[in-house]
Structure 1
Amino acid sequence: MADAPRLQLLFEGHCPDCGVREARLPAALPDAGDDFDWRVRDYDGFRMFMLEELHARFPERQRWTPADLEVVLVEVLAAVLDQLSDMQDRIFAEAFLETARRPETVRNLLQFIGYDALAVARSKDQIASDLSEQASIKALEDYWRGHPHAMDQARRAGPREIHTQKRMVTTEDYALRLREHPLVAAAHAWSEWSGSWFTLHVAVIAEGGRRLDHVAGDTPLPYEDDLKPLIENFHERAGLRAPALDTTPPPSVRMILRPYVDALRMAGQEVVLRDPRYVGISMALSVTLGANHFKSEVRHAIAQALGHGPQGFFAPSRHGFGEDLYSSDIIEVLMGLDGIDNVCLNRFKRVGSQFPDRVEAGFIALDGLEVALCDNSRADPARGYYRLTLHGGRGG
């Protein structure tokens, strides 16, 4: 090791107060020899190199045995150097996504390139969706330790996210980014010339059939307990303040989506959120049941199959904007239920006497922002209804 420089105060000339501080530097260290193989990385390499060095320094000694103290020290040092070399390789490997092994390092590296591993894990049900941010991180890292293949899948999918547009630039970006919101079942965007500039319109189908704004006279629907954590976590990951969903009345869909759109839209771009035009469907169905099936059970199964729940035929996300409604699709859904032998569609039309029956045509044409709807609610027949007649089966 080099010695520290020594300082000395010298007084030269006739002035006793004029001193000069000089530093006497130590001799320069000798140059490192070029006989060291910097590629030595393991125990055998370190041991052989040190033994060769001992033999070169003490050529008069002709015999070296494993019991010699010098050989024992060489092997101990070689073992320690092997461990340090392995530690160095591991630490260096953690700096790159391709070679990182620790789940926390992989998650941080993926986050640097814009890949949200937590959101992907929630969508695949690898971790619970109602956990806090810190609890979700710990759950994901524990899951990756138990399932290394899942971490490898995220490692491969992350770099592809670099080429994914995260902001709302094109018309398709507006629809795509809004579809990622847990409150949006479907979205469609288009641009219109207003006379002075282009205005971008986005039609949104919200979960549960909600409208963008509360309608006067109707009781606003509260947000379900399983939907609240999804919305809060989504806004937290987007860097937005989580909406207050427990207020009375609850915030409208537009109030929740507006900050998200403003955070990602192009500067100076006017964006208008719009509701779809729901088209109520009127149907009359005659269903023949099997001899051993109860009418009440089949009626309940039909109500679920034609309902607007998550698995229902008229679920908000099942039909797109302007997508024609075909009678064959309805018959196919009903024929797939247990206990139904035959289905006859006697009426198939839009709600309203001005619209013709479309049974013979087999489809109802929809256009623009129109979306088929059939809530089958006596309180609001304009949102669609059906008349069901059951034949055969067992009573009760």
Structure 2
Amino acid sequence: MSATQPPATLLAITLTSPAGLWRPVPDLLGSNRFQTEFVAELEQDGRLYLRFGDDRNGRAPASAEPLVAHYRVGCGTIGNSGADALAHIVTVESGVGQVRNPLPARGGSEPESSAAIRQYAPQAFRRQERAVIPADYAVMAERHPDVQRAVATRRWTGSWYTIFVTVDRRGGLPVDAGFETDLRIFLERYRMAGQDIEIDGPIYVALDLAFIVCVEPGYFAANVKAALLERFSPRNFFHPDNFTFGQPLYLSQIVAAVMAIPGVRWIDTAGGPGKPTRFQRWGQAPRGELAKGQIDVGRREIIRCDTDPNRPEHGRIEFIMEGGQ
């Protein structure tokens, strides 16, 4: 069990009434007028105060509505029982021959002191918990565990503004309908009233790359080529998590990775008439990328090079081997 973080915990208390079960929440800002929720505030003297809604943010108890509390009281670190401290159990079950705890308990935490609250409370307000401008939506989306990077764009859609959040999922997973729903729910707590949110996937830029590689004597060219293709496969160099929005591909990266393969003597990156060298976007004419030494992409674009013979539109890299055996 990991150590408990007091600021992130809720008190172990529930209420029952004719209206149903009442549960504690951190605040009532996201509660509607029908939800039976409350905020529990524990004072330094140990007294607990319950704060209910106003029939707008959270339901308010009816006049003279009976409330029955069910709660658990802790005692901090002193409640961490030592090893073999338990010897008895109260149960209606039969067949229990022995009760013991071979390991000590851990995880108990003392309440925060007034000094700690005064020290850390101001810092808590430095964490942005709302989205106003497009950059805020991108930052909030990146808090989702499945999102590697996000960019947001504010567009006028005819009657109101809509925030379009473009997402780069970890592992190159698709931004499908299920993920869109999950992320939209995740962003709802940060969304500013009056702004709609739309989730979409990145614009992939397929690459068209080709280079001449000279093989050292004593190495089989076929083996070196196989090693190069493996190095530049979607499992390695072109893994989806290695590139994200607006990140260019530098020719020097290709050269360094090629020269690291055993058996490679040199790589020819020079272009010109009759040269098979290519360093450009797939399906498009060169735009001076080879001379510049990099392929630039836009803020919503991500490079892709799967080298799948069945789907050349997903990018390809080719090596023309010379020398070797």
Give the alignment's TM-score, normalised by structure 2: 0.55
Alpha-carbon distance change, 291 to 202 in structure 1, aligned in 2, over 3 angstroms: same
C-alpha distance in structure 1 between counterparts of 2:120 and 2:228, whole Å: 41
Counterpart for residue 141 of structure 2: 178
Query: Are the aligned partners of 1:174 and 1:189 in contact in 2 as well (CA < 8 Å)?
Result: yes
C-alpha distance in structure 2 between counterparts of 1:186 and 1:378, whole Å: 29
Whether 1:320 aligns to 2:244 is yes
Task: Please tell me the root mean square deviation across aligned C-alpha atoms, in Å.
Answer: 3.5
Equivalent position SS for 1:173: helix
What residue identity is the alignment partner of 1:315? H
Query: Are the aligned partners of 2:167 and 2:201 in contact in 1 as well (CA < 8 Å)?
Result: yes
Whether 1:383 aligns to 2:307 is no
Counterpart for residue 101 of structure 2: none
Query: Are the aligned partners of 1:347 and 1:357 in contact in 2 as well (CA < 8 Å)?
Result: no
Query: Are the aligned partners of 2:155 and 2:162 in contact in 1 as well (CA < 8 Å)?
Result: yes
Whether 1:289 aligns to 2:220 is no
Query: Are the aligned partners of 2:171 and 2:241 in contact in 1 as well (CA < 8 Å)?
Result: no
Report how far residue 175 of structure 1 moved: 1.3
Alpha-carbon distance change, 207 to 293 in structure 1, aligned in 2, over 3 angstroms: farther
Query: Are the aligned partners of 2:215 and 2:324 in contact in 1 as well (CA < 8 Å)?
Result: yes
Query: In the comparison of the two structures, how many residue pairs are matched?
Result: 215
What residue identity is the alignment partner of 2:157? S
Counterpart for residue 278 of structure 1: 204
Whether 1:331 aligns to 2:255 is yes
Counterpart for residue 60 of structure 1: none
Report how far residue 295 of structure 1 moved: 4.3
Alignment of 1:1-396 (within 5 A): 104=3, 107-111=4-8, 160-213=123-176, 252-295=178-221, 297-309=223-235, 312-345=236-269, 346-355=277-286, 358-393=289-324
C-alpha distance in structure 1 between counterparts of 2:106 and 2:209, whole Å: 52
Report how far residue 369 of structure 1 moved: 1.9
Higher strand content, 1 or 2: 2
What residue identity is the alignment partner of 2:243? H
Q: Deviations over 1:101-136 (max 9, x none)?
A: xx74xx23242599xxxxxxxxxxxxxxxxxxxxxx
Query: Are the aligned partners of 1:290 and 1:341 in contact in 2 as well (CA < 8 Å)?
Result: yes
Equivalent position SS for 2:237: coil
Q: Structure 2: which 5+ runs fail to align? A: 11-25, 27-104, 109-118, 270-276
Which of 1 and 2 has greater Rg?
1
Give the alignment's TM-score, normalised by structure 1: 0.46
C-alpha distance in structure 2 between counterparts of 1:186 and 1:301, whole Å: 30
C-alpha distance in structure 1 between counterparts of 2:261 and 2:222, whole Å: 14
Report how far residue 316 of structure 1 moved: 2.7
Query: Are the aligned partners of 2:165 and 2:199 in contact in 1 as well (CA < 8 Å)?
Result: yes
Q: Structure 1: which 5+ runs fail to align? A: 1-102, 115-140, 145-155, 214-250
Equivalent position SS for 1:317: helix
C-alpha distance in structure 2 between counterparts of 1:335 and 1:267, whole Å: 54
Equivalent position SS for 1:337: coil
Higher mean C-alpha deviation, range 188-197 or range 339-348: 188-197
Report how far residue 341 of structure 1 moved: 2.6
C-alpha distance in structure 2 between counterparts of 1:259 and 1:325, whole Å: 34
Report how far residue 357 of structure 1 moved: 6.4
C-alpha distance in structure 1 between counterparts of 2:181 and 2:233, whole Å: 28
C-alpha distance in structure 1 between counterparts of 2:250 and 2:309, whole Å: 24
Higher relative contact order (CA 8 A, sep 6+): 2
